[in-house]
Structures are given as C-alpha cells and as structure tokens.
Structure 1
Amino acid sequence: MATKVVDKLTVAASPPADGGVLPLTFFDVPWIFTGPVERVFLYTYPHAVEHLAAHLLPSLASSLSAALHRFYPLLGRVRPCSSGGGGGGYEFCSTGGDADRVELTVAESGDDFEELAGGGPMDVGRLYSLVPRLPRPEEGSSELAAVQVTVFPGKGLAVGVSIHHVACDDSSFMHFVKTWAANCRVASGGDVDAVPPPPPPFLDRGVVADPDGLAAKTLDQMRQLANSGPPPPPPSGPPPKLFMASFTLTRDSIDKLKQRVTASGGGGVHCSAFTVACAYAWTCLARVDATSAARERAHLLFSVECRRRLTPPVPQEYLGNCLRPCFVEVDTAGLLGSGADGVVTAAVAIGAAIRGLDDGVLDGADGWFQKIVSLMPHRPMSIGGSPRYGVYDTDFGLGRPAKVELLSIDKTPGTVSMAEARDGHGGIEIGVALPEADMARFSSCFADGLKQL
C-alpha cells in the first residue's frame, strides 16, 4: 500500500510570466493563516510508471507550464508587506521569468486503486498520500501551489492538487485545474475543438472595492484573537482516525425532497437542489452527533459565491477568493424531527438565508469573522465544494475521472463536501469524513431516510 516518490520536478511558466505584486482583497484575508484546498482526481490508467514517464508526463508538465503562464500568481508566495498595503499588510509576490516554480511530484502506489475510486469508507491517510504537501511558511511567507501525479501500475492514475486557500476559492481552483487539463488533453493529441478550453483568468484585483477597509479590519480581528491566548486544549487522548466516504442523492431523490419541502409549507423559500442536499446532509450529521440533543440550537455555515452578486458584478473568471459566509440557525429539536420533518426545517431555514442575501451580499461584512469564531464552540456543519464546479468534467486526455475527493474537509469537524454526481444524471455527491463508528451511523441514517421518501 506504500506510496513512493519516483521523481520531483519544478515547473515554471512557459512562456515566462511577467510576475509582480498583487494586493490581497478583504475576501482573501480571512484565509491567510489557514491551509490549502486539497483535491485528488482518480482516473483509469492501465499502464506502468515507465509508460507514464515516457508518454503522459511530458504532456502533464508542459501543459502545467502553459497553465501557470496564465495563472502566474499561483507561482509566487503570500508574504507580509512593509508598506501596509491594501490587503491588511499582506501581498502576493512573484518574481517573473523562470525563477518562480511549482513542484510536480511523481509517485508510484501499491494501494488498491479500485477501492480508492469506489467511494466507500476508507482511512483518509490513504488518500493523503496522493496529494502534495505545501512547504511550511518561512518568515510569514507561504508558497501557494503544488501538484502530484501518482500511478497505480496497470490500474489507475491520481492527480493531486494543493492550492493555499488565500490564493483562490474553489471556483478559481477548478478554473486552474480545468485549464491545465484542457492543455494536457491537446498536448496528448486530443481534438482542440472537441471541448473548448476555459477562458483565461481575470487578474485585476481592482474590481473588488474595499472603501470601508474591511481587509485591515479583518486582519486586526484575527490578531486580537491570536493575542487573547491559546485556544482550548483538544480532548485528551489521541485524535480519532477519520474515514472518508461519498453518498449520492440521485435526481429522483432530490426531486422528492423538494416536493416534500414544498408540500410542508416551504413553497415560498429558495428550494434548489443545493438547498435540499445541504438540509439532508445536515439532518444526518445531527443525528449521528451524540452531543446534538444537548444543544438548543443547531448551526450551519456555508460559503456563497459573490462574483455575480456584487455591484458591479465581478467576472466569473476572476482569480482569487470571492466568497461570503452564510449563517443558518434552527432549533435542534426541529432538525432532529422524525421522518423528513428535520429536512423540511433545515431546508426552509437554508432557503430563507439564501434569499436574505438579496438585501445586500456584503451586509454585515465587518462582523463575519467574529461571528464565525463565535460559532466554533457550537460545532456548526459547514460545506466545501459545490455541484456547480463540474469536477467530473476534468479530462486530462484520460476521460472522466472515476472519482474525485475533496480531502481538505477533514481539517474542520462537521464539514461535508458537495459535487455533481459522477454518473452525470443530475444528482449530488456528498462527501463526509468521520470516525469509523460515526461513519457507519451516518451511512445507515442516509440510506434509511431515502427509503422514507
């Protein structure tokens, strides 16, 4: 099962990128001291590592180089700036030329590819061997991106990507990966006109205005929190081993959930597929959590895409973070209600929170960070990813992925991932990371709930 490193390459932009300094926006600042978004794409690949090195690897490297020319900020670092700057005292910096590089790790694994691609419960450590680690920060400066290609001889191939969240959100993450994949597909002999490559990224950070100094205010709040003393100690004993698994809501199940919400008086709320999928996952997690019943209120936290909601709108291709938190709160008793009652309670509250954004997507922005911090003791459920990003459309010339995993959800307890279902029939795939016993209870709750629809 061991994964061994075969080679390490460093890839520069080609043609060389101009480089330069870019400011952080107030959307970026909250992510400075977090970590990377880590995702792995698993493909059927019936070849040995020697075949990879001779045939596919050159295309992967050259196409990554071409993608980095367009997405050149990912080549650099985030660092403190002496002038203070518009990003609360931090900036992105890349030197240009071929000095800035992204590490491409080539590895070989003896693990069971079919099992890893099957979506069933597995130790998250097995998946983490397939994504690269970003180096530790040096003097407050952090690298932003790394990639890894792992071959399972005669079985499959994994493409792991790690990008620091301060550099971009999941929309930009997938824009970069799909650009790399499209370049590789063409470099490998694919038809350039069959699937058009994504448009280039939009790099002008001036489109995100900050007249109220939100970037500096947020960083001040973060420093005040750091100066207030260490966080509470973790529970005694070793942390539980986490397992990751995926569960699918089919299009039919989603439609039945929406009908149930509408029939129960929720017809006036924003009742999308995302709404009911969040609601269903939230009720299952609440029922698995043995401490839920002891809390009067239950909380959900998810990010909302702001590019089209800002005035004026920001181009969808904007490279960076453009998310705001959305807060949902319900009575725990209602969330734990029998049958589909809990799903209705959750869906109505989620839909109302989304509709409330119509009053102003940036309303209360100066209090977002403090509110998130205040919710942490209440163990909110949170969401990573989105069905809108089309992760299963990522084709490096190998066809559709057999499986895509968002590994970084395991960093925050109660976080689930969402993606479009891999069969392409309009369902939603929900990923969870839980201790083994909780995973068994979640699986049972998920399946039992669907039987009652």
Structure 2
Amino acid sequence: MNSSSPWRNEGVLKAHQPPKKKVTVMEGSASACHGVRVVSRRLVRPSPASNPGCGATSPEPETVHLTPWDLQMLTVDHIQKGVLLPKPPGPGGGGGGYQLVERLASSFARALARFHPFAGRLAVEKTRGRSGDDGTVTVSLRCTGDGAEFVHAVAAGVTVADVAGPLHVPRVVWSFFPLDGLVGADAAAGSRAWPVLAAQVTELADGVFVAMSLNHGVADGTAFWHLFNTWSRISRSMGGAGEHDDCAISVPPPVFERWFPDSCPVPVLLPFGKLEQIVRRFDGAPVEECFLAFPAESVRELKARANAEAAGPSISSLLSVLAHVWRAVTRARRLPRQQETSYTVLVGCRGRVRRVPQAYAGNAVVRCAARATAGEVLSNGLGWAASLLSRAVASLDETALVDSAARWHRDPRFAYLAGWWHPAVVVTGNSPRFDVFGNDFGWGRPVAVRSGGANKVDGRATVYEGIDGGGSMGMEVCLAPEALARLVADDGFMSAVTTTGRR
C-alpha cells in the first residue's frame, strides 16, 4: 500500500465538537487533554486459515447486488458501535500492547473470513443516457478481498470511569471510532475506494475500547452485531499461541444471498448520472448525549402501566419505554401544544418477510413513524402514546413490506437527515435483543456500550440490552443541550432510570 493511501495517516486524534464530524489530527503528546493517539493503521484481509476459499483469487470477484433496503441506506452515516472492556491481565496488571492488538487483529481476520464480502469494495457502474437524460448507475458490493481497516490507538489519559461513569457521554468517545464523517455512498463516490468495514482498538489507562464502523449501505444492525459477536467468540476461543478451533464457534454463518421482490429488477438502476447526486450532507445543531439504564423492574412497571391505560393489543416492553421517552422529550423541548411531533422507529424485517432468514447479512430494516401534536402526547398518557407506536409498527406486515420494496426502484427514496429532521422528531434504532454484553474477547465481559458520532442529531435515542440482563435496557439519548438538561432534571422521567451503565 503506497504512502498516499487514506489509511496511512497517524497522529493524535483530539475529541471533536459538533457539527463537524471529521476527526482533527493534531501533533503533540498523547497526554494532551483526553487525546487519542493513533499508533497504526492497516488493512486486514480475511484469514485463509478460517475459510480456505475466501482468499482465492479469480478473474471475476463475486458481486453482491444491493437491494432497495440496502440502497436507501447509502445516504446515512456508518453504523458505529463498540464495547468498553476491562484491562487484560498481565504482569503487574499491565496486559495490553502489542500482544493484545495482534490477538484482536488475528481474530478480526478470522471473523472477516466468515463475512468475506465485508472485505470487499462498493462498485458503481454507469450507463450513458439518451439525449437530455443523465443516465443510470448501479451499486454493488464486489467481494474483492481488499480488506477492512484496522486501527490501533492509545488514550493514555482516559480511564474506564471517564467513559462509563458520567451521566453525560464524554465527546472523546467519538474518537474511538474509525471511518467517521462518511456516508455509505462515499465508499464508491469520488476518487477514494474506502473500505466498507473498519475496526478500532483503543487502549485506555485501565481498559480497552473495541469498536467497529460498518457501511450502512451493505448491512444493518443485526448483521453488525452478528459480526461483532463472531469476532469476540473467535478471540475468546484463541489459545496463548493464537490457535483456535473454528468448529467450536457456535455463531451461525451469515447469509449473503440478497432478497429481492419478484418484480424488482436486479441490479436496481438508479436514475442518476453520478452516485454523488444522491448525497445530501447534514450539519445539525450541537447536541449533547447521556446514557441511561432502565432496570428490568422499571421496564416491567412501564409495560404494565402502558397496557393498563391502553385499549387494544398488548404493548411490548420496548414500545412502553419508547413512549415514556417520547413524552419526556416532548416536555423537555417545551414544544407548543399544537406542534406536530413524531417518533420514528427502525423495524426489522427478519421474521416479517418469510424469505429473509435471521442470519441475513444485508439490510432488512425499514422505518415507521407515529405522529401526534405535542399536546396530545402529553395529555393522553403513556398508554395512548405507546398504542400509537404499536399501531405504526403493526402496519408493517409482510404484504406492506414486500409491496414497498417492489415499488422502490420506480421512485427511489433515500434515508436523509437533511430535509427530514426537525426539532420535534425522535428516532430510535438498534435493539435490546442484540447481544452486546456477551462480547467477552477472552478476559472479561464488557462494562459498557457506546456509539460514535455517526447520525448523532437532536432526538436520537439508541437502545441496547441492559448490562444486568433480565429485560433491562440501556439507552443513549441525544438532544439539544438545554433540552437534555431539562430531561435529566425531570423526576417523572428519571424515576424509571439509573444514570450509569456499570455494575
């Protein structure tokens, strides 16, 4: 790889401030205020030892054509999630360094062998149009095996308590994630062919943060955590010499065969002369974020209250919690009673569309929204708001999902923040069903989960499984600073949560 490659930059990454997402590279020592020093960057290719066929070269690499569910996500930031781990044991408690990084790089390569398309690159093919027509483009994932980015960084001045302890998430966390400031289409637009996947291992003073960034145009959160779980289990199974038995890994293999509705053309032709034409950058107002834990008992109480107040089908635990959040955020924003507010929820299609298996390693997620005025949300109670969310989710039956995907190519619509976001919206992604705290890489369970700066806008609420299990939930809430201050001072809301994600 030549020195002009975009993955060769090294230096100190300083925690950056919104709205700009690009990490600032600065010179100086790692002792600079919560600085993150990049030690090395490299491309990690799938390990042939784990999948003898994955490293084989052929004149024509396999092509994965992107579906409507994939293509509509090319315009959003990458999926950025990571776990905070205790410091590995070692002489004098000094585990880490070269051996730790090489172990994680080796296990990442082995996991990548199972998910080998993610070591490929997005490819664009253009078709010249007739007179007055811009032509079309198609986008696919080419299984070139070029590799995923792997970053080793050090944040010597940051402790586990700095990350997991405060109510407000420190901005340095955003610097623990690679491929920041990019949307999915950037991987194929312009002169640089960016990887679709990157991992970063950041050594802290007394812990390790392990993170991944995945292009949302090629996969969703279910596939993201499937890969993350595979990586941690392979690392956990490795012996002192880096050996492991692939057969001992119980994670099911991913399914890369894409699902297309019968009437959808393959590949899908996008009516643009250049892929860059679909990108709309979004500069949102500055936000702050906090991490909240909903104990299992609080979740049960919210669900019982929502169902007692609601008439109709049973309300789920998750929607009961989201309704609680919706009402509290509406109060904290001090919206006029007549202003419309909405709650957008990302809903998985696995289990809703019969031909989409659970191990499907592409995008199988769509959005639905509940809408009401601020006055209605505040006046009608928890059960009413939860019922509104429940009806929105229930509207996404198999027929609706298949019909929507089948029509998409006729009038392509992409996921945008620009032109969609407004100061009365709340949106939730991720899922409390994803296995986060089972990601033991071989020296202990995670003590916290956090996300990067991607898609961080006023109204973003990211949900996770709770660290204590048993139906507990964790949530990152991102709001304008004034609204967040009012939210965490709202006793009616905060009575259901604790303000730390640690045991």
Q: Work out whether the TM-score is over 0.5.
A: yes
Look up the match of 2:82. 40
CA distance 1:274–1:214, change in 2 (3 Å): farther
Look up the match of 2:23. none
Higher alpha-carbon deviation: 395-404 or 44-53? 44-53
Look up the match of 2:3. none
How far the C-alpha of 1:410 sits from its partner, in A, is 4.6
Residues 1:314 and 2:361 aligned together = no
In the TM superposition, what are the counterparts of 1:304-383 in structure 2 within 5 Å? 304-310=347-353, 312-337=354-379, 341-358=380-397, 360-362=399-401, 363-365=403-405, 366=407, 375-377=420-422, 379-383=424-428
SS in structure 1 at match of 2:355: coil
Residues 1:57 and 2:101 aligned together = yes
Look up the match of 1:180. 231
CA distance 1:245–1:215, change in 2 (3 Å): farther
CA distance 1:167–1:194, change in 2 (3 Å): closer
How far the C-alpha of 1:332 sits from its partner, in A, is 2.0
Distance 1:50 1:261 in 2: 49
Residues 1:92 and 2:92 aligned together = no
Query: CA RMSD of the aligned region, Å?
Result: 3.4
How far the C-alpha of 1:324 sits from its partner, in A, is 1.5
Percent identity over the alignment?
Answer: 25
Residues 1:115 and 2:166 aligned together = no
CA distance 1:257–1:230, change in 2 (3 Å): closer
CA distance 1:88–1:357, change in 2 (3 Å): farther
SS in structure 2 at match of 1:4: strand
How far the C-alpha of 1:271 sits from its partner, in A, is 0.6
Residues 1:293 and 2:345 aligned together = no
How far the C-alpha of 1:121 sits from its partner, in A, is 0.3
SS in structure 2 at match of 1:116: helix
Distance 1:289 1:130 in 2: 30
Residues 1:421 and 2:421 aligned together = no
Look up the match of 1:14. 47
Higher alpha-carbon deviation: 251-260 or 185-194? 185-194
How far the C-alpha of 1:371 sits from its partner, in A, is 9.7
Code of the residue aligned with 2:462 in structure 1: it is S
The size of the alignment, in residue pairs, is: 431
Code of the residue aligned with 1:184 in structure 2: it is S
Look up the match of 2:322. 278
Distance 1:193 1:145 in 2: 22
Look up the match of 2:308. 263
- Once superposed, which parts of structure 1, at least 4 consecutive aligned residues long, lie more than 6 Å away? 47-50, 190-195, 221-225, 371-374
Distance 1:225 1:9 in 2: 27
Residues 1:441 and 2:441 aligned together = no
Look up the match of 2:131. none
Distance 2:307 2:483 in 1: 31
More helix by share: 1
Look up the match of 2:222. 171
Look up the match of 2:120. 76
CA distance 1:179–1:442, change in 2 (3 Å): same
Distance 2:248 2:489 in 1: 40
How far the C-alpha of 1:198 sits from its partner, in A, is 0.8
CA distance 1:450–1:442, change in 2 (3 Å): closer
Deviations 1:403-435 (CA, angstroms, capped at 9, x unpaired): 101234653331110011112232111111234
SS in structure 1 at match of 2:320: helix
TM-score, with normalisation over the residues of structure 1? 0.84
Higher alpha-carbon deviation: 44-53 or 156-165? 44-53
Code of the residue aligned with 2:351 in structure 1: it is R
Higher alpha-carbon deviation: 185-194 or 268-277? 185-194
CA distance 1:376–1:139, change in 2 (3 Å): closer
Distance 1:191 1:76 in 2: 25
Distance 2:473 2:260 in 1: 31
Look up the match of 1:392. 437
CA distance 1:433–1:451, change in 2 (3 Å): closer
Residues 1:253 and 2:335 aligned together = no
Distance 2:94 2:297 in 1: 44
CA distance 1:94–1:212, change in 2 (3 Å): closer
Look up the match of 1:128. 174
| Contiguous gaps of at least 5 residues in structure 1 | none
Distance 2:46 2:414 in 1: 40
Code of the residue aligned with 1:91 in structure 2: it is S
